[in-house]
Structure 1
Amino acid sequence: MSSAVETSQLLRVGDLARLTGKTVRAIHLYEELGLLQPATRSSGGFRLYGASAVERVRWIDLLHGAGFSLHEMSELLRSWWSADLGPEAMERLRALFEKKLAETRAALDRFRRLEGELEQGLAYLETCRACATPEAPVKACARCGQDHGMAGEPALVAGITATPERGRRGARGPFVRLEELDKTPTGGIEA
């Protein structure tokens, strides 16, 4: 195959960006981080990429969607290519994937808890519509006596409606008046 034909099958950076939905700057950043390398340069000095570059950008997108940072991807590639033997490279990759899977599962647990908190907050707020009138001051919400059908305010609602007067739990509680901060021995920071 002649070099003219080979060059015609290569992609300039703008073409690679369009094919992958990325910006030219993103492609350059991937190159700076060692995630992507041009196959060659044109006689005019333009970066030229082969078909494997499209696959690499898709791989970057896939890992990004899985929660990997660009730095982690760069480290993953360095780890892979610095291994002397295939089994060693596979073991390094396996360890990185296991770590990311554990992080992903922990994040899912946090999101499930947040989902429950949001559902409770929405259910609680839905009962507020009965007493909501255009002229009701927001301060009234902090002293609400309405039965919301729950043992107490969900944490996401309680955090908003809590006032120092309502939520004060003594000197070591979370609510301290600003004027009292200067009276503490540590200048407002409790030990």
Structure 2
Amino acid sequence: MDGNTKTQIPVPSVSTISTVPTSPPKAKAKSKSKGAKRPLGRGKKQMKIGALARKTGKTVRALHLYEEMGLLFPDRSEGGFRLYGPGEVDRVYWINKLQDMGFKLSQIRGLLDAVAASNSAPEAMQGVRELFQNKLNDTREQIQKLLQLERDISESLSYLEACRSCAEASPDCCAECGEDRHGGMAEPQLVSGIHIKRGEGQAQATPEPNA
């Protein structure tokens, strides 16, 4: 081979070149600044403690107590006045409801603490469900007792209606009053306990002679 002769290197055709498409560089996502979530009721028209007391029917002292126990969290104005929004109004009404159910303020605070300490929302609400279910069972039991008491009182009033026309002069006769004078009604328990009835053959107590 002549030293002046150049060796030609075969150039591959375009069809034989493996081309790997390159994706354009991804644009950087714009960072969004997330501000802290505002508590419920904030950002709306707020009122001072006197207005909240008038609106909810509570005393100012009671509202102060709610705050001391961690049940209310008012804002403060530049002048240091307490400010309450719709969220605080709803909280006061909620406290009233639970107090009507028989809960003490310390128990209400305990409920809020238990919800806050739960590991998940379902767990938190399950505790609330159990609490309300127990209260519902107690309420239904109380309703049954009140219904029975209503029947007892109505029965006693019907029985006592005949006493309006009684001609006996002494109330001692009431203990011996028979069913025939009351339309065949037996003496109700609410009435029978008033009188001391003496059974047949029961001797009267003889007072002891003076020493």
| TM-score where L is the length of structure 1 | 0.70
Q: Percent identity?
A: 47
Show the counterpart of 1:137. 170
Any idea what the Cα deviations from partners look like across 1:35-60, whole Å, max 9, x if unmatched? Answer: 2221x223443322222011111212
Show the counterpart of 1:162. 195
Kept in 2: contact 1:34–1:74 (CA 8 A): yes
Show the counterpart of 2:84. 49
The CA distance in 2 between the partners of 1:167 and 1:19, in whole Å, is: 61
Any idea what the Cα deviations from partners look like across 1:118-143, whole Å, max 9, x if unmatched? Answer: 1111111112112167xx33333233
**Any unmatched runs of 5+ in structure 1?**
1-5, 169-176, 180-191
Give the one of 31, 51, 68 matched to 1:32: 68
Kept in 1: contact 2:179–2:187 (CA 8 A): no
SS in 1 for 2:162: helix
Show the counterpart of 2:21. none
Any idea what the Cα deviations from partners look like across 1:104-158, whole Å, max 9, x if unmatched? Answer: 111111111111111111111112112167xx33333233246223553211112
Tell me which stretches of 4 or more aligned residues in structure 1 moved more than 6 Å: none
Output aligned runs, 1:6-85, within 5 Å.
9-38=45-74, 40-85=75-120
Query: What displacement does 1:64 show?
Result: 3.1
Show the counterpart of 1:186. none
Show the counterpart of 1:188. none
The CA distance in 1 between the partners of 2:198 and 2:52, in whole Å, is: 58
The CA distance in 1 between the partners of 2:119 and 2:103, in whole Å, is: 24
Show the counterpart of 1:110. 145
* More moved, 93-102 vs 28-37: 28-37
1:87 aligns with 2:126: no
The CA distance in 1 between the partners of 2:159 and 2:70, in whole Å, is: 51
Amino acid at match of 2:176: R
Query: What displacement does 1:68 show?
Result: 3.5
The CA distance in 1 between the partners of 2:77 and 2:50, in whole Å, is: 14
Task: State the aligned residue count.
Answer: 159
Give the aligned CA root-mean-square deviation in angstroms: 2.8
Amino acid at match of 1:90: M
Kept in 1: contact 2:72–2:91 (CA 8 A): yes
SS in 1 for 2:136: helix
